[in-house]
Amino acid sequence: MQTIDLAATTLRELNAALQGQTASTNQTEWEILNPRGAHALAVGLDAPIEVTVRGSTGYYCAGMNKQATVRITGSAGPGVAENMMSGTVVIDGDASQYAGATGRGGLLVIKGNASSRCGISMKGIDIVVHGSIGHMSAFMAQKGNLVVLGDAGDGLGDSLYEARLFVRGAVKGLGADCVEKEMRPEHLEILRDLLARAEADASPEEFRRYGSARSLYHFRVDNASAY
């Protein structure tokens, strides 16, 4: 276990050490103490290492993550796991705005609640939120899965493309071109796998699925007010 205390080490030095790890590293377990809400912590990782952050973080923690497993024992500020490529990011607490934004792969698990715009413009990432999410989540989501065990705010899935949205609780309102869809056997299997990987205690049958009505794929003058 490599333990780094940010009360004694600079953020730049920490990130340089983490980013310097390769696929052949034997320094696979890292512990970060006293993060004190630091921004851009553990960003740009590209090695199969495990990083545990003991506390809460600021903006863009674990951004551009690739291969690594990052666990935050507190809460995370805006943009956690932004542009994530692969690997796993787990937040034991809550996440602020646009968690998992533009993510292209990997799994983001939020054990608490997520604020507004969770999964905005997601492009292949899987996001599982044990609590609820705020308004305009999955706005322009293109690919991937967003799973919410709690409730969803207004404007869910506005202008989304082919991402799949699964919500167990109430949805305050759907965004433009987002509609409820049939939950078929293949969707139940996708959901069952994601719930298991996220250690979420829920049954796939309790969820509803939402997706694109595909009416905004091409401009139509009748829909001008929705653009």
Are 172 and 153 in contact by the 8 Å Cβ rule? The answer is yes
Lowest mean pLDDT among 159-168, 194-203, 212-221: 212-221
Are 215 and 223 in contact by the 8 Å Cβ rule? The answer is yes
The vertex-127 CA angle with 23 and 109, nearest 5°, equals 70
Reported confidence tier of residue 54, pLDDT bands at 50, 70, 90: very high
Q: What backbone phi and psi angles, to 5 degrees, belong to 189? A: -70, -40
Q: What is the mean pLDDT of the segment spanning 129-137?
A: 98
Reported confidence tier of residue 227, pLDDT bands at 50, 70, 90: low
CATH of domain 2-216: 2.160.20.60
* Residue among 1, 3, 6, 116 nearest 56 (CA): 6
Q: What backbone phi and psi angles, to 5 degrees, belong to 120? A: -60, 130
Domain boundaries, the chain: 2-216
Question: What share of the chain in percent tops pLDDT 70?
Answer: 98
5-23: per-residue pLDDT in tens? 999 999 999 999 999 999 9
Number of CB atoms found within 10 A of residue 22's CB: 9
What is the number of alpha carbons within 13 Å of residue 90 lying toward its C-beta? 14
